[in-house]
Homo-oligomer: A and B are copies of this chain.
């Protein structure tokens, strides 16, 4: 029977779909180029393109810019998204949680499969290039960097960091940047600059436990704002909460938020900045995962829409280049003088050599190249991990679909306690982050954060299988 071109592309697509189902073509694998497919199958280029487009629209494959098509999902099933969190009625006093210590203390333990660590491991970081950049820094710094760096930070590094802002629509100069000892010092300085002990700040829910602890350390109260896994902070809720709770500042991670992985759409970012400006309060924007996007384009930031200097942008190279180098920065808008005063008070200067080294690395232009590879790796890892979770975890598991970053947020059935899972998994030398540490309230006990930053291996596969078994036994 004669087939129309329309039927033909569907047939080709169906064949490919079967190969995916049978796992002949595996998640994360690259498909032949459109040209190759056309030759292989004896079809026109446009038919080949249509076949891929059809598969893409079904969510089975995806195109990556300048790279081609990749297997994205096995069609068998796709887990639901976790629920948006419930509104919180009251601001709570922050307390430090033993769980954080229990999870964190494993950082140094050997032979653990670290699904709990939201930082790419050294094997996918540009370690050798950084060593070269350090040697160059030694050659170029006056007196080999033994003297104090300028208070605001290494000038060449600041220039490069200012240039990075171009990627998200910023147009800043070295004068707008203050370097810090990692992103966490930037967050500390920014929180100290815009609050007094006893003040209330707004934070996403769930939120990075480090931010919650930081707030506690500064004597702040925290209002946890409902956050949707796909669209981020509930802005209508926030708009009402600011006057009601006398919120002094917001501390948000709009891009690939940790732990939920969501990316706030640009429209919402703009709206958020509008709300901040309306009440003339500060927004501390932690953009530490912003460069790790899987899509075609780097997402914007809230800072992109900041016209009045109310946004204190914070970031670091800890998720992309060298966590151990402690290179972070802030673009603190109208709070710059206060930030410099606080930096003088709390740090005097940043470490000279590692900061100069990152400046050198950025100057070579290799950062973008490295990022491209890192993003590809993380994206592929995400797909492999998702696939395995679908296969091994109970069907009721709801899994976030991050568009960047390195963590998944998994919601399990209500009776499952993920701290118990954490303890059981530990006996199998697997670490996860129980959901409870991402809030100051009694919730998320049936959730977990799982990082896919550990490169895929049989051990990873086995460990996810073990987690699945443990969950089924609890279930």
Chain B residues with CB under 8 A of A197? 197-198, 219
Name the interface residues of A101-120: CB closer than 8 Å to any CB of B.
101, 104, 107-108, 119
Tell me the bound Cα distance from A197 to B195 in angstroms. Answer: 13
A428 at the interface (CB under 8 A from B): no
Binary contact track A124-154/B, C-beta < 8 Å → 1, others 0: 0111101100110010001111111111000
A83 at the interface (CB under 8 A from B): no
- The reply to whether B217 and A346 form a contact with Cβ atoms under 8 Å apart is yes
Are B134 and A146 within 8 A (Cβ)?
Answer: no
When the two chains form their complex, are residues A321 and B108 in contact, meaning their CB atoms are under 8 A apart? no
Cβ contact within 8 Å between A351 and B354: yes
Residue A92 CB within 8 A of the other chain: no
CA distance A250 to B181 in the complex (A): 27
Q: Are A148 and B96 in contact (CB under 8 A)?
A: no
Q: How many chain copies?
A: 2
CB-nearest residue of chain B relative to A104? B344
Q: Tell whether, in the assembled complex, residue B324 and residue A213 are in contact, meaning their CB atoms are under 8 Å apart.
A: no
Given A138-B135, A217-B192; A210-B326 close (CB under 8 Å): no
Please indicate the chain B residues that have their CB under 8 angstroms from the CB of A53 in the complex.
none
| Closest Cβ neighbor of A182 among chain B residues | B348
User: A325: which of B107, B145, B192 is its contact (CB, 8 Å)?
Assistant: B145
Known contacts A108-B151, A138-B134, A354-B354; A347 and B144 CB within 8 A of each other: no
Is the CB of A214 closer than 8 A to any CB of chain B?
Answer: yes
A69 to nearest B CB, angstroms? Answer: 32
Taken together as a complex, chains A and B put the C-alpha atoms of A324 and B351 apart, in Å, by 6
Alpha-carbon distance between A142 and B127 when the two chains are bound, in angstroms? 9
**CA–CA, A357 to B135, complex, Å?**
13
User: Which chain B residues lie closer than 8 Å to A357 at the CB level?
Assistant: 353
**Chain B: which residue is nearest A327 at the CB level?**
B351
Q: Report chain B residues within 8 Å CB of A122.
A: 142-143, 146-147
Which single residue of chain B is at the shortest CB-CB distance from A356?
A: B324
Chain A residues 182-214 with CB under 8 Å of chain B are 182, 184-185, 188, 192, 196-198, 210, 213-214
B119 touches A143 (CB 8 A): no
Known: A143-B127, A324-B352, A326-B350. A148 touches B107 (CB 8 A): yes
Bound-complex Cα distance A354 to B346 (A): 19
Closest to A131 in B: B144
Chain B residues in 8 Å Cβ range of A181 = 181, 326, 347, 351
Does A455 belong to the interface (CB within 8 Å)?
Answer: no
Bound complex: CA A20 to CA B324 (Å): 55
Task: Determine whether the beta carbon of B342 is less than 8 Å from that of A325.
Answer: no
Q: Is A170 an interface residue (CB 8 A)?
A: no
Question: B residues within 8 A CB of A342?
Answer: 217
Instruction: Decide yes or no whether A309 CB sits under 8 A from chain B.
Output: no
With known contacts A146-B122, A148-B323, A181-B181, A213–B345 Cβ distance under 8 A:
yes
Pairs A–B under 8 Å by Cβ, sample size 9: A101-B341, A107-B150, A125-B147, A131-B138, A134-B138, A146-B321, A182-B349, A213-B344, A352-B354
